[in-house]
Amino acid sequence: MKIALYPGSFDPITNGHLDIIERALKIFDKLYVVISVNPEKKTLFTAKERQDILEEVLKEYPQIEIIENRVLTVQKAKEMNATHIVRGLRALTDFDYEFQMTNANRVLDKSIDTIFFMTDNQHAFLSSSAVKEIARFGGDISAFLPPYAAEKMLEKTKKSAQ
């Protein structure tokens, strides 16, 4: 059984993340979608809220399990018997960061490899941060997020505007 980990902030999951997940499922039998909890990083949604959104959006995929992670990604990969870490690539700007992370992970554990999927053109400029910015100004975010994530984003931005 081929097992992989797809770590990220997922604050919240976008159609770009979904695109990567669908590509990864063509190769891996089991995919752990991992919410990387980093207390240094400010997020709009709590880890529990992000988990709830991911559970709802990904409920039709029996091969997916959603978990939280507070340790190193390679450590979690080992623990879950995963051989690969999945990451997505958009524009060139992702490359530098991903290159550094992959190399660091390789030094930490060379038995775990990172595999990249290139996003569909239509998601190439899509990020959770851009969507949050659009939502903050009352823009229509429905084209960028799965419907449940869009609903939760609207609730959140309404609450913070009160």
Q: Is 23 a catalytic residue?
A: no
Catalytic, out of 30, 90, 106, 156: 90
11-40 residues in contact with ligand ADP (CB under 6 A) are 14, 16-17, 19-20, 36
| 43 vs 83 by CB, closer to ligand ADP | 43
Choice from 43, 63, 102, 127 touching ligand ADP (CB under 6 A): 127
Min dist CB 69 to ligand ADP, Å, is 11
- ∠109-113-117 over CA atoms, to 5°? 150
76 binds ligand ADP (CB under 6 A): no
Pairing state between β 30-36 and 113-118: unpaired
By CB under 6 A, residue 43 contacts ligand ADP: no
Least separation in angstroms between CB 13 and ligand ADP: 8
- Residue 132 engages ligand ADP in binding (rule: CB under 6 A): no
Given candidates 76, 87, 132, 152, which one binds ligand ADP under the rule CB under 6 A?
87
- CB-wise, 61 or 158, nearer to ligand ADP? 61
Catalytic residue check, 41 = yes
Active site residue 70: no
User: Dihedral through CA 145, CA 119, CA 52, CA 4, nearest 10?
Assistant: 170
Helix or strand (DSSP H, E) at 107: helix 93-108
Are the beta carbons of 81 and 3 closer than 8 angstroms? yes
Bridge partners of residue 3, in order along the sequence: 30
* SS3 state at 119: coil
Please give the helix or strand (H or E) that residue 128 lies within, else none: helix 128-136
Q: What is the largest CA-CA distance in the chain?
A: 50
Q: How far apart are CA 142 and CA 125, in angstroms?
A: 15
Contact residues toward ligand ADP (CB under 6 A) are 8-10, 14, 16-17, 19-20, 36, 87-88, 90, 94, 119, 123, 126-128
Which sequence positions are flagged as catalytic? 17, 41, 90, 128
